[in-house]
Structure 1
Amino acid sequence: MSVLLDPFTVAFVQRALVGGALVAVVCAVVGTWVVLRGMAFLGEAMAHGMLPGIALATLTGFPPVAGAAVSAAAMSVGVGALQRRGRLSADTSIGLLFVASLSLGVIVISASRSFATDASAILFGDILAIEQADIVLLALAVAATLLVAAAGHRSFVALAVDPRQAQLLGLRPRLAHILLVGLVTLAVVSAYQAVGSLLVVGMLLGPAVAAGAWTRRIVPTMVLAALIGVVAVAVGLLLSWHLGTAAGATVAFTAICSGAVSTGIRALTRSTRTTRSALDERTA
C-alpha cells in the first residue's frame, strides 16, 4: 500500500491533488446544475471556445488562463446576444459560436510560426504543473462558486422546474440563467489547467451523474459529486503515475468512468432488490 501511495509524497503531485480536488468541488456544484438543466452542450462549447483566447494570450505573453477566461466569457455573452437579437434557439447559437471559436483558435495557431506551446497541454491540461498561485486562484473560484450557488439556489431550482412560474414568483429567471451560465464559465476556466479544454466536460458530468444515481436532492447530489470527483482525481493521479499515462486525461477518464460504474452498481442493486421482493412474495 505504501508503494502504491508513494506518488503523494512528491511535492508536485501533492499540489496536483489539492488543485484537482478544488476543481472537483467547483465542477460538482456546477455539474449538478448542468445535468439538471441539460446544459452539457454549452459546457462543451465553452471548453472548446477557449482555444482562441488561450492562443492569443500565449502569443502576446499573457497567462493562458486569462485568455481562456476572456474567451469563455465572450462565448457566453455571444450566445445570449444571438438568442435575444437573432431569435435563434440555444443549441443553434451555441453551435455557431462553438465552431467559430474553435476555427478561430486553429487559425491563430496555424498562422503563427512562433507558437511554441504544446498543443496537448491546451487540449488535455497539465495538472502536474499546478503551482501554489494556481491553488490560491482555484480556492477563490471555489468560494465564488459556493457563494453564487447558495445565493441563487432558490432561483436556480425554480428555473429548472418551471421558468414561467419562476417569473410569476418574482425570482427573475433570466438573471438566474445568466448567473448559471457564469458558473459554467467559471467551472470551465477553473478546470482548464487540470484537464485541458477537451476534457473539461468529463469533470463536469462524470461525478454529477455518478452522484445522481444515488440521490435526487440537489445539495446532497453536489456533496456526493464533490467526494466522487476528489476520489477520481486521486485515483487518476495514481494510475497516471504507475502506468505512465497523461495525468489530465487519466483524471478525466476516471471521472467519466465513475458515472458509468456508479450507474451500473445502482442498477444492479435495484435489480437485486426487485428479485428479492419477487421471491419474498412467492414464498409468503
Structure 2
Amino acid sequence: MEWLFEPFEVSFVQRALWGGILVSVICAFAGTWVVLRGMAFLGDAMAHGMLPGVALASVLGGNLLLGAALSAGAMALGVTALGRFPRLSQDTSIGLLFVGMLSAGVIIVSHSESFAVDLTGFLFGDVLAVRDQDLGYLLLALIAAALVSLLGHRAFTALVFDPRKAHTLGLRPGLAHGALLGLMTLAIVASFHVVGTLLVFGLLIAPPAAAALWAGRIPLIMLGAALIGSGSTVAGLVVSWHWGTAAGATISAVAVAAFFVSALAAHLRDLLRARPTTPAAPRETTMTEREIEHAS
C-alpha cells in the first residue's frame, strides 16, 4: 500500500488534497441543486464566462477573485435579461453570452505576452500550487455555501420540483432562483483560481449526478457527491503522481469516470428489479407541501 500513501508525504500534494476536498464539498452543495434544477449548461457558461473579468483584472493588476465575481455576475444578469424575450429560449441566451464572453476574454488575454500560459492556467488551474492562503479562502467559501444551502433548502427543494407550487406556498421562486445563481457563482468563483474552470465544472456536475442515481433525498445526494468528489481527488492525485499526468485534469477525469460507473451500476440494478405487470397510472408533477418536506 506504499504506492497509495507515497504522494501524500509531500507537502504540496497534501495541500492539493485538502484543496480538492474543500472544492468537492463546496461543489456538492451547489452542484446538487444545479443537477436537480437542470442548470448544467448555465454552470458551464458561467465558469467560462468569468474569463473577461479575470483577464481584465490580470492586465490591470487588480484582484482576480473580484474580476471573476463581477464577470460571473454580469453573465447571470445577461441571462436573466435575455430570458425576458419570449422568442429566445434560455439555451439560446446562455449560448450567445457564453460564446461572446469567452471570445472577449480570449481577445483580452491575447494581448498578454504569456497568452498560452495565462489561458491554460485559467482553464486547467494548478491544484498542486495550492497555498495555505487559498485553503483559508476555500474554507470561508464552504461555510458560506453551507449557510445558503441550509437557509434556502426548503425554497430550493420546492423550486426544483415544482416552481408553481413554490409560488403557491409563498416560497418566492424568483428569489430562490437568484439565490441558486448566487450559490453556483460562489462555488465557481471561489474554486477556479485553485483548480481551474474545467475541474470546477467537473466536480460541480459529475459527483452530484452520480449520487442522484442512488439517493432519494437531497441531503443524501449532497453527502454522496462530497464523498465521490473527495474520492476522485484522492484517486486523481495518486494517478497523477505515478503516471505523470496533469493533476487537475486527472481529478476531473476520475470524477466523470465515477459517474459512468455509477450509471452502469444503476442500470444493472434496474434490470435486476422485478418490473410491474401493469403500467402505473401517470402521476401529476405538482408536489404537496408534505412531499416537499419528504424530499428535503
Q: 2-side partners of 1:198 and 1:251: how far apart?
A: 10
Q: 2-side partners of 1:198 and 1:107: how far apart?
A: 20
| Aligned twin of 1:29 | 29
Q: Give 3-state SS (helix, strand or coil) of 2:2's partner.
A: coil
Aligned CA distance change for structure 1 residues 165 and 60 (closer, same or farther; 3 Å)? same
Q: Confirm whether residue 57 of structure 1 aligns to residue 91 of structure 2.
A: no
Identity, in percent, stands at 56
For the aligned residue pairs, the C-alpha RMSD in angstroms reads: 1.9
Contact kept in structure 2, 1:4 and 1:238, CA below 8 Å: yes
Unaligned runs of 5+ in 1: 276-284
Q: 1-side partners of 2:90 and 2:45: how far apart?
A: 12
Q: 2-side partners of 1:242 and 1:36: how far apart?
A: 36
| Aligned twin of 1:2 | 2
Q: Give TM-score, length-normalised by structure 2.
A: 0.87
| Aligned twin of 2:130 | 130
**CA shift for structure 1 position 92:** 2.1
Aligned CA distance change for structure 1 residues 23 and 208 (closer, same or farther; 3 Å)? same
Residue pairs, 1:141-152, within 5 angstroms: 141-152=141-152
Contact kept in structure 2, 1:59 and 1:114, CA below 8 Å: no
CA shift digits 1:184-223 (9 cap, x unpaired): 1111112313431234321111111111121121111101
Structure 1 residue ranges, 4+ long, deviating more than 6 angstroms after superposition: none
Aligned CA distance change for structure 1 residues 101 and 226 (closer, same or farther; 3 Å)? same
For residue 254 of structure 1, what is the amino acid of its counterpart? Answer: V
| Aligned twin of 1:250 | 250
Alignment length, in residue pairs? 275
**CA shift for structure 1 position 87:** 6.9
Unaligned runs of 5+ in 2: 276-296
| Aligned twin of 2:158 | 158
For residue 50 of structure 1, what is the amino acid of its counterpart? Answer: M
Aligned CA distance change for structure 1 residues 247 and 166 (closer, same or farther; 3 Å)? same
Residue pairs, 1:45-84, within 5 angstroms: 45-84=45-84
Contact kept in structure 2, 1:49 and 1:71, CA below 8 Å: yes
Residue pairs, 1:55-204, within 5 angstroms: 55-84=55-84, 88-113=88-113, 117-204=117-204
Q: Which 10-residue stretch deviates more, 189-198 or 172-181?
A: 189-198
Q: 2-side partners of 1:241 and 1:146: how far apart?
A: 32
Contact kept in structure 1, 2:199 and 2:251, CA below 8 Å: no
**CA shift for structure 1 position 85:** 6.6
Aligned CA distance change for structure 1 residues 194 and 249 (closer, same or farther; 3 Å)? farther
CA shift digits 1:145-190 (9 cap, x unpaired): 1101111111111111221221121100000000001111111112
